[in-house]
Structure 1
Amino acid sequence: MTAHPLLTELAFRARAQAHESAAACSCGAATLADRPDATVVRHADTVAKAHAPDTDPADLAPRLVTAVRLPEVLLPPLPPAPTRLHGRLVTFWPYGAPVDPDDPDAAPWEAAATLLARLHRTPAPTALPPMRGPVKAAHAVARLRAVGSYPAVAPVLSAWRALPAWARAEAPMPDAVTLCHGDLHLGQLVRHPAPDGPWRLIDVDDLGVGVPAWDLARPAAWYACGLLPPEEWTRFLAAYRAAGGPAVPEAGDPWPALDVPARALTVQGAARAVTKSVAEDRSLDEVEQCLVDACARMGSVPPQFAASFAK
């Protein structure tokens, strides 16, 4: 299959960044991601990333500056400043070794939680835009509405309508003063220097000020849906609290803070699952069906029982 022009150009730029000499090399380029919202190519120890077409340079700039200023938490970008290729903003990054998806027992829950707590305790720069978590959830639901009247669509949209306006990106986030990642999952951690350096958070596209509980919401939602073992959720939550994370109380029930974000991330996951299954003309798999079932049950479960809304 022939690579599209953006991939070809990214590979060329990554190679130029990785090697001072113009001489031929045998490293080769590897495509790490090629989606509408991000195209990422690696060459040796350098990564070139084309951001989403609608990325605002005025929003991306302070996010990149924040990553430079917090190298103990966020992987900082490489020079030069963002450039444009085929209408997309492109940035360069050092390569970091990702979490091994084939070794779930080695998932760095404590590292992820500790990095989040450090991020949340850092005063947010005044120039940062809002964290984009609710906007991403709203985009997923908008794409779901476009697929038409499939049986799984109705419960997901019903759960979405039950969320408060701020979680649907229809109103400002309450008390949005905390520095947040905006899209935390294990794919957003890498070891740098590779292969066994310290863990760092990557992907600053959604970084901004917001509700810190949103950054805990994906693992919380998976735990509530029965997709994340209780012991792994406990490890994550305990490490976050031990590091002084402000998103939940130091002790006691965390769910009053996590309820709305966890429900929103469940809806987002279910919306993406249904949209993908329709596009691929297949049935929902077991995990996808679990997310849709969770949405169907949300309306009948009071917030104080959010930890079991899918069980």
Structure 2
Amino acid sequence: MTAHPLLTELSRRAGAKAHEATPACPCGAATLADRPDATVVRHADTVAKAHAPGTDPAGLTPRLALAARLPDILLAPLTPAPAALHGRLVTFWPYGTPVDPDDPDLAPWEAAGTLLARLHRTPAPTALPEMRGPAKAAHAVARLRAAGPHPAVAPVLGAWHALPAWARAEAPMPDTTTLCHGDLHLGQLVRHPAPDGPWRLIDVDDLGVGVPAWDLARPAAWYACGLLPPQEWTRFLAAYRAQGGPAVPVDGDPWAALDVPARALTVQTAARSVTKSLAEGRALDEVEQCLVDACARMGSVPPQLTAGRAK
């Protein structure tokens, strides 16, 4: 990976932060991610993250404050406010051990369900913005529209237009009081202290108030598409319900609540997949085609619009 000014300086700052109270070590910084929306480096037990260009400090700061207040649910930041670096906002975090993608049998579905339920049951502070789930889905669809022609574009857009306006970030969400993560997947869990401490949720960029079912929507969508085994979905949902999570009924069919968010996450993931395949000049792989096929089916069966949900 070629270093650039942001990555170089972020690595230096991570090292300085890591050794504020300890002697300097000979180890260098490891780049954990370097994408247009985030650059993340690690030095010893400290992680520095450069957030997406255009991130609003007025939105990020209360999200950091909330993470600091909920250390039993969210990984707490090392500093209370972001710093500026090359036009980006930078935050500092303790290192946590991520989920091992090569060992799906050890995926912490129970921990994910438990932490989500506890988050959803926590009273939201008044200064917190809306969670950014629908906005991220809309961004993925906008990028798909700009990416160029592809046979998969039509079914993905058809499924998108069938969603209610709130799920497309075109109207207020029907719930603006429940605390939500906004972008839940297994990559958002780490063990802290590393290597085998309790699981915690990370990534506060999309944290806010909104529809809690959105946080269950990605695993629900993968289950509905046949990409997540039933037993793993059951483990996740049962753990969430056992902790009194408010997104779904305590028993019975959860899909009246999950239908719209799961469809939206299917569209978002399919849109990203098609955009990526176009950029790389390749055909869709099996999983990507499965998501597009699901969008085609969704376009012919409108979402279940039950009482009390967005029209």
Using the TM superposition, give the Cα deviation of residue 301 of structure 1 relative to its aligned residue in structure 2, in angstroms: 3.3
Q: How far off is 1:20 after superposition?
A: 2.9
SS at the partner of 1:146? helix
| Equivalent position of 1:148 in the other structure | 148
Contact persistence 2:40–2:47 (CA under 8 A): yes
The answer as to whether partners of 1:16 and 1:22 remain within 8 angstroms in 2 is no
Aligned counterpart, 1:240: 240
1:48 paired with 2:44, answer no
The residue that corresponds to 2:261 in the other structure is 261
**Correspondence 1:200-239 to 2 at 5 A:** 200-239=200-239
Distance 1:124 1:81 in 2: 19
What is aligned with 2:120? Answer: 120
Which residue number in structure 2 is paired with residue 83 of structure 1?
83
1:118 is matched by which residue type in structure 2? R
2:81 counterpart SS class = strand
CA gap 1:22/1:197 in 2 versus in 1, 3 angstroms: closer
Match of 1:288 in 2: 288
Letter paired with 2:251? A
**Equivalent-residue separation in structure 2 for 1:124 and 1:23 (angstroms):** 40
Which residue pairs with 2:251 in the alignment? 251
Confirm or deny: 8 A CA contact 2:152 2:274 kept in the other structure.
yes
Listed as ranges, the matches of 1:47-66 within 5 Å are 47-66=47-66
How far did residue 24 of structure 1 move? 5.1
CA contact (8 A) 1:77 1:92 kept: yes
Give, in angstroms, the shift of residue 175 of structure 1.
Answer: 2.1
In structure 2, distance between residues paired with 1:293 and 1:206: 28
| Map of 2:176 onto structure 1 | 176
Deviation at 1:26, TM superposition (A): 1.9
> Contact (CA 8 Å) 1:188, 1:202: kept in 2 or not?
yes
Deviations 1:264-304 (A, max 9, x none): 00000000000000000001011111000000000233646
Question: TM-score scaled by structure 1?
Answer: 0.96
Aligned to 1:67: 67
Q: Kindly state the Cα deviation for residue 23 of structure 1 after the two structures are TM-superposed.
A: 6.2
Deviations 1:230-253 (A, max 9, x none): 010011101100010000000110
- Give how far 1:22 is off: 8.9
Deviation at 1:27, TM superposition (A): 1.7
| Shift of residue 147, structure 1, vs aligned partner | 1.2
Structure 1 residue 123, shift from structure 2 partner: 0.3
| Matches of 1:251 and 1:154, distance apart in 2 | 37
Matched residues in 2 for 1:67 and 1:287: separation?
34
User: Is 1:11 the equivalent of 2:18?
Assistant: no
Per the TM alignment, residue 88 of structure 1 is displaced from its structure 2 partner at its CA by 0.1
**Letter of the structure 2 residue corresponding to residue 288 of structure 1:** E
Q: How high is the TM-score relative to the length of structure 2?
A: 0.96
Aligned residues: 304
> Aligned letter for 2:104?
P
Q: CA deviation at 1:112?
A: 0.3
Kept in 2: contact 1:32–1:42 (CA 8 A): yes
1:8-27: CA deviation from partner (whole Å, max 9, x where unpaired): 00100000011137965222
Corresponding residue for residue 298 of structure 1: 298
Partner of 1:307: none
Aligned to 2:308: none
Alpha-carbon separation, structure 2, partners of 1:58 and 1:297: 40
- Aligned twin of 2:190: 190
DSSP 3-state at the match of 1:299? helix
Looking at structure 1, the residues matched to 228 and 209 of structure 2 have their Cα atoms a distance apart, in angstroms, of: 27
CA offset digits 1:155-211 (Å, max 9, x no partner): 000000000000000000002210000000000000000000000000000000000
Please state if 1:273 is matched with 2:273.
yes
Distance, in Å, in 1 between the alignment partners of 2:80 and 2:117 is 30
Equivalent position amino acid for 1:140 in 2: A
Instruction: Give me the identity figure in percent.
Output: 86
1:245/1:283 CA distance change after superposition, 3 Å: same
1 CA distance for matches of 2:87 and 2:184? 27
